[in-house]
């Protein structure tokens, strides 16, 4: 299974350039797509997979077909939430592998993933037997094969700066018929696996019920499963968006789906539930714990920013990601307190040096992997509330401009 190792602070420079150029060209270039309306988007379904996805910001309850809430027999239920974060996903893999070695890792009733987290999530859902696969993918250096850029004029005027084949090939090689069949079997036991993409046309986050898709029995379930994972990990402008066929009122068209992190860095509970006076529905006598792995450094990371357009845009966007994640964690913490849910969060809490010019840096991924594993082993990885301490730079004399 491919892992989105892309380090945002480096590649967002390229993304910023795409935004500038595409803005100037958009008025004179044809989209080459079939038109559809906002009303079409509201009611659209993927043919053959009705009611297997929802908008994250949808009002009202989830579809009442029994496949969205966990239906396991466990008295104490656990939810694993894996965030985006590019190369920082190695941190989450370190946490999970060390958790398995301790023998205390739950058989999660629900697993969710966004961006990098979306691609870790299927293996995390299937359990510790896939730890070796994740460790290999995150620490062996295989990530260097994923970013194959096109000649700059072609990239800027085409669909993306990077070629889609390496990303697609790794997903196809690792998300096999057997893997999807195992996910379907766990879904039938009442466990749930969700992945989030961003519908760029609608500017809305889409939650996909991956277990139900796997268990649908449809001949194209494997292809859709792979499409969703690739879309969730495809950073806009760097990798091409994924076009997913949909229908509404007899009208067939293609939706444009891309990086789930464009809309939210992690997926916990529907937005309508977060903002309402209703608590999470928990059965009497049942305990629910939410474990959030934030594959990012949420504390400030000092760096002298070059006073140039792309550097400023990149730095501002990186700051926005941190702020977005922190705000979402604070909101989830407040909701969990109201609902009596156990709250646990792990994030990269140490300044780890990386080279912005080497976005797939093996040394960086190994360092954050080791950090996650070490903190799990010594019992310090989980915090019971959002904590964002100021970093210590006692070992850093100067910071190079970015």
Mean pLDDT of the chain: 83
Distance CA 346, CA 292 (A): 6
- Helix-helix angle 116-126:177-188, to 10 degrees: 70
> Alpha helix (H) ranges present in 34-176?
38-43, 89-102, 116-126, 131-139, 152-157, 165-174
Q: Is the pLDDT of residue 15 over 60?
A: no
pLDDT band for position 166 (cuts 50, 70, 90): confident
- Average pLDDT score over residue span 169-181: 92
Distance CA 16, CA 235 (A): 12
Tell me which residue of 82, 102, 106, 78 sits closest to 92, measured CA to CA.
Answer: 82
Q: What are the Cα distances from residue 63, in Å, to 86, 225, 227?
A: 32, 20, 23
Q: Is the pLDDT of residue 285 over 80?
A: no
Distance CA 332, CA 368 (A): 25
Least confident range from 16-30, 60-74, 95-109: namely: 16-30
pLDDT band for position 1 (cuts 50, 70, 90): very low
Q: Is the pLDDT of residue 228 over 80?
A: yes
Least confident range from 16-30, 40-54, 77-91, 271-285: namely: 16-30
Measured CA angle at 323 (ends 196, 316), to 5 deg: 100
Distance CA 400, CA 354 (A): 12
- Average pLDDT score over residue span 378-394: 84
- Per DSSP (E only), the strands in 268-401 are 287-297, 342-348
Tell me which residue of 289, 294, 271 sits closest to 345, measured CA to CA.
Answer: 294
pLDDT band for position 235 (cuts 50, 70, 90): confident
193-211 pLDDT tens trace: 999 999 999 999 999 999 9
Distance CA 389, CA 402 (A): 23
pLDDT band for position 317 (cuts 50, 70, 90): confident
pLDDT band for position 145 (cuts 50, 70, 90): low
Across-strand partners of 194? Answer: 112, 209
Please state, as a whole number, how many other Cβ atoms lie within 10 Å of the Cβ of residue 292.
28
17-51 pLDDT tens trace: 445 444 444 444 445 788 899 999 999 999 999 99
> Taking a C-beta distance cutoff of 8 angstroms, is the pair 31, 180 a contact?
no
For 393, the token pair is 């730079």
> What values do phi and psi take at 37, rounded to 5?
-100, 170
Farthest CA pair distance, the chain: 64
What per-residue confidence (pLDDT) applies to 115? Answer: 93
Q: Is the pLDDT of residue 154 over 60?
A: no
What per-residue confidence (pLDDT) applies to 396? Answer: 42
Tell me which residue of 12, 5, 295, 8 sits closest to 142, measured CA to CA.
Answer: 5
What per-residue confidence (pLDDT) applies to 27? Answer: 44
- Average pLDDT score over residue span 167-193: 93
pTM (2 decimals)?
0.86
What per-residue confidence (pLDDT) applies to 167? Answer: 76
Percent with pLDDT over 90 in the chain: 54
Q: Is the pLDDT of residue 82 over 60?
A: yes
Distance CA 77, CA 72 (A): 8
What per-residue confidence (pLDDT) applies to 300? Answer: 86
What per-residue confidence (pLDDT) applies to 4? Answer: 37
343-383 pLDDT tens trace: 999 999 988 886 766 767 899 999 999 999 999 999 999 99
* 364: Cβ contacts below 8 Å, ≥ 6 apart: 7, 87, 90, 352, 353, 354, 355, 358
Distance CA 308, CA 66 (A): 53
Q: Is the pLDDT of residue 7 over 60?
A: no
Q: Is the pLDDT of residue 132 over 70?
A: yes
What per-residue confidence (pLDDT) applies to 282? Answer: 58
More confident position, 86 or 107: 107
For 281, the token pair is 């529905």
> Taking a C-beta distance cutoff of 8 angstroms, is the pair 372, 94 a contact?
yes
Q: Is the pLDDT of residue 399 over 50?
A: no
More confident position, 171 or 398: 171
């Amino acid at each position: 299974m491919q892992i989105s190792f892309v380090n945002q602070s480096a590649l967002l420079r390229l993304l910023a350039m795409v935004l500038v150029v595409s803005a100037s060209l958009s008025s004179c270039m044809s989209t080459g797509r079939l038109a559809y309306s906002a009303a079409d988007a509201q009611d659209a379904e993927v043919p053959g997979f009705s009611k297997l996805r929802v908008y994250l910001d949808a009002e009202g309850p989830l579809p009442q077909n029994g496949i969205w809430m966990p239906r396991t027999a466990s008295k104490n239920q656990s939810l694993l939430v894996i965030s985006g974060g590019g190369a920082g996903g190695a941190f989450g893999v370190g946490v999970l592998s060390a958790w398995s070695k301790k023998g205390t890792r739950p058989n999660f009733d629900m697993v969710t993933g966004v961006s990098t987290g979306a691609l870790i999530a299927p293996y995390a859902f299937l359990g510790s037997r896939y730890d070796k696969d994740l460790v290999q993918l995150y620490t062996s250096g295989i990530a260097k094969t994923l970013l194959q850029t096109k000649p700059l004029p072609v990239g800027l005027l085409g669909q993306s700066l990077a070629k889609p084949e390496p990303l697609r090939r790794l997903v196809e090689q690792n998300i096999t018929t057997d893997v999807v069949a195992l996910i379907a079997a766990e879904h039938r036991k009442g466990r749930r696996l969700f992945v989030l993409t961003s519908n760029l046309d609608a500017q809305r986050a889409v939650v996909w019920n991956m277990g139900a898709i796997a268990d649908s029995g449809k001949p194209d379930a494997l292809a859709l499963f792979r499409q969703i994972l690739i879309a969730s990990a495809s950073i806009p402008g760097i990798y091409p968006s994924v076009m997913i066929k949909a229908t509404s009122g007899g009208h067939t068209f293609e939706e444009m789906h891309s990086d789930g992190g464009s809309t939210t860095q992690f997926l916990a509970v529907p937005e309508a539930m977060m903002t309402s006076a209703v608590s999470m529905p928990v059965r009497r006598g049942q305990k629910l714990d939410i474990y959030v792995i934030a594959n990012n450094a949420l504390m400030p990371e000092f760096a002298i920013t070059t006073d140039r357009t792309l550097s400023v845009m990149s730095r501002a966007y990186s700051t926005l990601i941190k702020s977005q994640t922190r705000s979402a964690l604070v909101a989830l913490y407040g909701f969990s307190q109201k609902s009596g849910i156990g709250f646990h969060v792990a994030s990269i809490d140490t300044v780890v040096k990386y080279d912005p010019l080497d976005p797939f840096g093996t040394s960086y991924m190994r360092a954050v992997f080791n950090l996650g594993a070490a903190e799990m082993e010594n019992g310090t990885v989980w915090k019971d509330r959002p904590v964002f301490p100021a970093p210590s730079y006692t070992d850093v004399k100067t910071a190079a401009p970015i």
